[in-house]
Amino acid sequence: MALAHPCPMDIDLGSEDSRKALAKMVIKLFQLWELPTADQLDLLGLSPNSRAMLGKYARGEALPGNRDIMDRVGWLLAIHKALRLLYPYDEAVRRTWVTRRNTAFDNLTPLMVMKEQGLLGLARVARYLDYYRGR
């Protein structure tokens, strides 16, 4: 499953249309990774009481324009992009990489790191992939 990526230059986070497109992209990413609802909420920094928001985002409602959620979505999409570049012909790896244990993260899964460390964990995983890509 490929996700459409708008050119970063075209994204105006103040624009509701851009935030709608980002919402659909991140929901598609969660589907690709086959993440349970609780994990999706954690990655977006939303409370367990916000379950209904995921359905709204899937149906095209715009993400809120606050900095925290925009940063989280940005890191998630960066992770996806790095995985596409690292494993262009292996969808199974791209789909399961976040749930596989990794020695770079003390044998935790990248998903565990992202959930436990929040925004910093998302950045850590994305930066690791950028580093790995550059070797």
Instruction: Give tens-digit pLDDT for 1-29.
Output: 445 444 444 566 678 899 999 999 999 99
Question: pTM to 2 decimals?
Answer: 0.89
Indicate the domain borders of the chain: 13-134
pLDDT tens digits for 78-116? 999 999 999 999 999 999 999 999 999 999 999 999 999
pLDDT tens digits for 57-68? 999 999 998 999
Higher pLDDT, 3 or 54: 54
Burial class (CB in 10 A: 0-12, 13-18, 19+), 6: exposed
pLDDT for residue 15: 82
Question: What is the chain's mean pLDDT, rounded?
Answer: 91
CB atoms within 10 A of CB 88: 9
3: alpha, beta or left? (left if phi > 0; alpha if psi -120 to 50):
beta
| CA pair distance 62, 54, nearest whole angstrom | 11
For 41, 82, 101, the CA distances from 36, given in Å and listed in that order, are: 9, 22, 18
Structure confidence at residue 135 as a pLDDT band (50, 70, 90): low
pLDDT for residue 10: 55
Reduced DSSP (H G I as helix, E B as strand, rest coil) percent helix, strand, coil of the chain, to 5: 70, 0, 25
pLDDT for residue 47: 92
pLDDT for residue 112: 98
The pLDDT of 107-134, averaged and rounded, is 96
| CA pair distance 82, 129, nearest whole angstrom | 6
